[in-house]
Amino acid sequence: MRALMMKRKAIGWGSLVLLLLLTSLPARAQWSTRWLAIGRLQSPYLGGGSEPENLAGIDANGTYTWPGHIPGTYWGHWRGLWISARNWRSPDGQTFPVRIEHIGPRFNGVGEYFQDVIKLVYKFDAPEVLVDGQKTFDKPATPDEVNPDIPADAMVENIARTAMGIEVQRRAYQFSNEQHQDYHIIEYVFTNTGNVDEDEEIELPDQTLQDVYFTFFYRNKANAPAGAWDNSHGGSAWGKYTMNDALLPEWEDMPGEQFSERFAQNYDFWKDHAAQYSWLAAVPDQQQFNTLGNPMWYQHQWQAVAADTTGRLGGAAMFGTLTVHADRSASDASHDEMQPSMLDILDSDDADLTSRNDHNDISQMQFERDWLEDGRKNGSGPARYNDQKRPHAWRIQPDGDFARQTAPPQPSEGGYGYVQSFGPYTLGPGESVRIVIAEAIAGLNDKLAFALGRWYKQQVRQLGRDAADAAVFYWNPETNTSCNAGDPGCIGMTKNDWVMTARDSLFQLFDRILEVWNNGMQVPQPPKPPRRFVVTSATDEITLEWETYAGEPDPVRWEIWRAQSYYYGLPLPDSSTVYYKIAELPGNARSYTDTEVTRGVEYYYYIQAVGSNGLKSNRYWTQTYQPAVLRRPPGVSLDDVRVVPNPYVLEAEQGVRFPDRQDKIAFYGLPAEATIRIYTELGELVRVIEHTDGSGDEFWDLTTSSRQVVASGIYFAVITDKATGNQTTRTIVIIR
């Protein structure tokens, strides 16, 4: 029986500004970013081929977000990819006994990886979604290309070269089908091209690469930036309390594994496909409440939504990776069930492996190679962290009863990630190998996570933690409602037992992923969303209008969903923040007027097409992220016109800028219909805005008629009342 660590044979304009700022920094300049964001599981992909720490996303908090529309819900802190070979000969004739090209987990990859291609491809044109004339989005996910022949609804295609002469082609796929929106399938093709730099010249046309390993790094966390408790355990935000587990095919007959028989009966994937996965563990010295499931109790320094203290479980899910396919060799594309050949954990604070990476340092690369081959330090002796036959989680809790965990999930201050190596391979000139990995997340549904977490918080306050940890919560998964003991379909478990059912949910998702892969990446297609979805605020109503794609048949019906106050849709103390279905309309409908609205309240919407097969278009196609609000009535005279904020200062705190993070200024008190002409100080006309909605409000997004952002300076707005022809002028100061 082989051990785990021995060889074995899953925006607003402000976010866009942040992206531009980050990519302008020297260490980040090499990599472009593309987002997969058409389902609940969303992530950025960098042009270097992986996502190192602090380069992982537009705000550097992590990789995957889930659910994608809720701020701060990050489930990964970094990814990494190392490619290594033995006896590599450089173009100048120097022989390296070991050569490793690194990107991640902390090294940014510059000089070892070279971006060639990165593009976002959609199966069809992305819907255009506007609120009061402005595009609304959360992630900058505008496709570079439309290709109806791609196997999924969205794909990030990334080609990076390495200084070893291996080209990395990465294709990350995402589906919009709601049953398949919680995972990405990532296909890597590694080719020995002999091109060791950014130009097209082939420096090493004849070199065969020997004993090649491809090593992937994952540092997972459980929705940590949202924050479960006060800052007494703030390390959760970078994965300090993450537990890591694994499944290996040969464990079916391993004695003493209490779960093996159940897995063998219920899950097909693990017999031929290794998996690793993570969750936020219980922190035994947190006395106030049990942290398993990430209960939201206190406002936390990482927390994005201050009022999110209802107790809901913000981390009642597990994130994992599944080996979908690994070629046996460059000449045999059949799946090698003995890959990956090494799995291990990695202390994120282990400077020996995370802080000294250099493809010219032979001694350091030899040290790294000894580890990535078999998880052993210096090529001999005990495995780097533990030589037991069990993964990290089982070393912490040997009886496997993770719902009643008794020891902390570290001693590592920074926490553990996990690692997997595929190899060894031999790659002759022009030869390739393919490795396919699915990254997925699954857990309790939103309604259960809220009800269970709120109940648990009440129990702790009434009974104390010890009694509450043993109390049983009853829920009917079929009706998705609480129930009474003895009712048909009613299941009773403790809070922690419910949280650990996320493992079963993840494994069911793994099975589904393999079915999709083995079926040629074919999934049932939901109807397309609207081609254009426009939300317009008026003085006493909000109108919604939409258009369909040319030639697209009408769906069976449309469903319109709305929340107020926050687009996050969280069940905060004001339950109106949750999304409710406010209308069902026939398939030939193209508009809806929402009159059940109140002045001073912000409203957010999405629309879904429902097909004859019962599938719905994904909410993320049409989700609005800027608010619709009832407009002010028109001004009585041009003297009423005001410009807000003025001056406009880009670096000003929110409160003197608009809270929706979009660069804009407002004209209040306008006539019902007016023309606004904006001029520079030199008298150049930069923008004409036609105000025609009958309200007193209009906005300017600080761009010219050609969509260029205006520079700092003094501008003049000449406002003409269309009814009377009268004019007035307002001076605008912009400071960037």
Cα three-residue angle 226-232-236, rounded to 5 degrees: 40
pLDDT of residue 55: 66
Contact yes or no for 712/734 (Cβ under 8 A): yes
C-alpha span between 421 and 347 (Å, rounded): 16
Model confidence pLDDT, tens digit, residues 645-660: 899 887 654 434 454 4
Model confidence pLDDT, tens digit, residues 178-219: 999 999 999 999 999 999 999 999 999 999 999 999 999 999
Sign of CA dihedral 520, 523, 524, 527: negative
Dihedral angle at the C-alpha atoms of 119, 121, 127, 132, nearest 10 degrees?
A: 0
Other C-beta atoms within 10 Å of 591: how many?
Answer: 10
C-alpha span between 321 and 319 (Å, rounded): 7
Long-range contact list for 591-598, CB < 8 A, 24+ apart?
Answer: 591/543, 591/544, 591/545, 591/546, 592/543, 592/544, 592/560, 593/541, 593/542, 593/543, 593/544, 594/541, 594/542, 594/543, 594/544, 594/562, 595/540, 595/541, 597/541, 597/542, 597/630, 598/630
Using 50 as the pLDDT threshold, list the residues of the chain that sit under it: 1-29, 56-58, 225-226, 228-232, 253-257, 377-388, 653-657, 659-661
Q: Is 485 helix (H, G, I), strand (E, B) or coil?
A: coil
Is the bond into 488 cis (omega within 30 degrees of 0)? no
C-alpha span between 261 and 235 (Å, rounded): 36
Contact yes or no for 569/579 (Cβ under 8 A): yes
Predicted TM-score (pTM) of this structure: 0.86
DSSP-assigned beta bridge partners for residue 644: 666
Q: What φ, ψ does residue 485 adopt, rounded to 5°?
A: -55, 135
- Number of helices (H), then strands (E), belonging to the chain: the values are 9, 36
pLDDT of residue 497: 96
Nearest Cα residue to 366 out of 354, 353, 355: 353
- 90's CB contacts (< 8 A; 6+ apart) are 96, 196
C-alpha span between 167 and 197 (Å, rounded): 10
Q: What is the DSSP string of 371-411?
A: HHHHSBGGGSSSBSS--SSS-HHHHHSTT--GGG--S-S-S
Q: Which domains does the chain have, with CATH numbers?
A: 13-220+328-432 (no CATH), 446-493 (no CATH), 532-621 (2.60.40.10), 638-735 (2.60.40.1930)
C-alpha span between 99 and 101 (Å, rounded): 7
C-alpha span between 161 and 195 (Å, rounded): 7
pLDDT of residue 20: 35
C-alpha span between 657 and 329 (Å, rounded): 58
**Tokens matching residue 84:** 């290594």
Is the bond into 67 cis (omega within 30 degrees of 0)? yes
H-type alpha helices, 177-221 = none
Exposed, middle or buried, 23 (CB in 10 Å: 0-12/13-18/19+)? middle
Nearest Cα residue to 450 out of 569, 318, 562: 569
pLDDT of residue 589: 98
pLDDT of residue 377: 47
- 505's CB contacts (< 8 A; 6+ apart) are 317, 318, 442, 443, 444
**Tokens matching residue 417:** 């990630």
Q: Is 99 helix (H, G, I), strand (E, B) or coil?
A: strand
pLDDT of residue 262: 59
C-alpha span between 320 and 277 (Å, rounded): 4
Q: Are strands 134-135 and 145-146 parallel, antiparallel or unpaired?
A: unpaired
